[in-house]
């Protein structure tokens, strides 16, 4: 009691009683709001899409509801039986026709649906191991499968059954042959490239290059004229004559032997020397 006078709080034992009254007391739950009210003219009709409306007309076949200035007609379901009770059987669909339908003959269905049974290890099955050699299944018990090998005569227990290697040796015809992978070849494509007109230099057209030689501070510039018929000299082939000048190339005739050189890199690099005669 002294604690209540000083702090104004009740001891911990009375905490449950404090929730029943006071500012934070629980509000009573009105269960009547959850009850379904009878539908009459003038009652409130709630719709998920249109909201709240007022029932204007009510018959056995339809319900006319007024949502503001708009009227909506909803059909009324007759779900009552003769005795006036709710009949749930009207929503049940009656089966029409046979439940199971089979197409095709029975033999065809069995041939496609039934899978062949997996082969099991039996006594007398011949197997072969890489290390122990050929052997025969001699005993099958709950502990596992026993195999007697011919070379050593020993009995080997396989608690989990035959291994994959022994199965392949027992049934070699079931091994799938791996075919070499061949990449699919696509269709051949033909590309047509338009021909570019080559710039053929005639005799009258002259190419002029500038060869700059640095001699200290002085610069001596030699103007060299190159055209079809100009004589050149090569260190390996000797003297020749420029027969044709195409785009970026020289065609030089060395006494019947024709050679192609890059233009103007062959002259500026010193591969071809133009005779000044």
The per-residue pLDDT for range 84-118, each reduced to its tens digit, is: 666 555 555 555 656 666 666 666 666 665 555 55
Domain-located, residue 2: no
d(CA 94, CA 238): 109
Domain-located, residue 160: yes
Of 244 and 110, the one with more pLDDT: 244
pLDDT band at 233 (very low <50, low <70, confident <90, very high): confident
Residues 222 and 166 in one domain: no
Domain-located, residue 94: no
pLDDT band at 210 (very low <50, low <70, confident <90, very high): very low
Domain-located, residue 214: yes
pLDDT band at 66 (very low <50, low <70, confident <90, very high): very high
- Mean pLDDT, rounded, for 140-164: 89
Backbone angles phi, psi at 264, to 5 degrees: -100, 15
Residues 168 and 211 in one domain: no
Quick check: 120 pLDDT over 80? Answer: no
Print the domain residue range for 142: 126-173
Domain-located, residue 80: no
Domain-located, residue 134: yes
Give strand ranges (E) for the chain: 44-47, 51-58, 62-67, 70-75, 126-129, 133-140, 145-149, 155-158, 207-215, 218-226, 231-234, 238-246, 249-254, 257-262, 272-274
- Of 95-104, 195-204, 258-267, the range with the highest mean pLDDT is 258-267
Query: Where among 173, 198, 229 does a domain terminate?
Result: 173
Question: Cα 40–45–46 angle (5° rounding)?
Answer: 155
Flag the least confident range among 48-62, 71-85, 214-228, 238-252. Answer: 214-228
Structural domains in the chain (count): 3
Task: Please give the order of strands across the beta sheet that includes 155-158.
Answer: 126-129, 133-140, 145-149, 155-158
Q: What is the pTM of this model?
A: 0.25
153-165 in b/e form (b: 16+ CB < 10 A) is eeeeebeeebeee
Domain-located, residue 263: yes
Residues 212 and 254 in one domain: yes
Residue 136: predicted pLDDT = 92
pLDDT band at 204 (very low <50, low <70, confident <90, very high): very low
pLDDT tens profile 49-63: 888 999 999 888 889
What is the domain-level CATH number for residue 216? 2.40.10
Long-range contact pairs involving 192-199 (C-beta distance under 8 Å, separation at least 24): 198/246, 198/247, 199/246, 199/247
Question: Cα 137–143–144 angle (5° rounding)?
Answer: 30
- CA neighbor of 120 nearest in space, from 105, 137, 133: 137
Residue 95: predicted pLDDT = 59
Per the rule left: phi > 0, alpha: psi between -120 and 50, beta: everything else, 270 is left
Residue 185: predicted pLDDT = 79
3-state secondary structure of 69: coil
Domain-located, residue 139: yes
pLDDT band at 65 (very low <50, low <70, confident <90, very high): very high
């Amino acid at each position: 009691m002294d604690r209540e006078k000083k702090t104004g709080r009740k001891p911990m034992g009375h905490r449950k009683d404090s929730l029943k009254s006071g500012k934070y007391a629980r509000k009573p739950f009105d269960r009547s709001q959850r009850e379904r009210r009878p539908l009459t003219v003038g009652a409130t009709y709630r719709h998920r899409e249109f909201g709240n409306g007022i029932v204007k007309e009510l018959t056995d076949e339809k319900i006319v509801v007024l949502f503001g200035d708009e009227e909506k007609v909803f059909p009324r379901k007759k779900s009552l039986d003769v005795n006036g009770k709710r009949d749930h059987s009207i929503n049940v669909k009656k089966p029409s026709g046979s439940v199971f339908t089979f197409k095709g003959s029975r033999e065809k269905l069995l041939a496609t649906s039934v899978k062949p049974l997996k082969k099991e290890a039996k006594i007398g099955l011949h197997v072969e191991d890489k290390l122990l050699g050929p052997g025969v299944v001699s005993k099958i018990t709950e502990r596992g499968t026993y195999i007697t090998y011919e070379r050593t005569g020993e009995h080997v227990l396989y608690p989990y059954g035959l291994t994959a290697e022994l199965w392949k040796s027992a049934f070699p015809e079931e091994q799938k042959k791996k075919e070499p992978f061949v990449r699919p070849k696509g269709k051949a494509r033909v590309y047509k490239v338009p021909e570019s007109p080559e710039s053929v230099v005639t005799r009258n057209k002259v190419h002029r290059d500038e060869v700059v030689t640095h001699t200290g501070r002085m610069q001596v510039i030699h103007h060299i004229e190159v055209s079809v018929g100009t004589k050149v000299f090569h260190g390996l082939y000797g003297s020749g004559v420029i027969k044709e000048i195409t785009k970026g190339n020289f065609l030089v005739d060395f006494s019947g032997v024709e050679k192609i050189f890059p233009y103007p890199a062959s002259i500026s690099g010193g591969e071809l020397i133009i005779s000044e005669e």
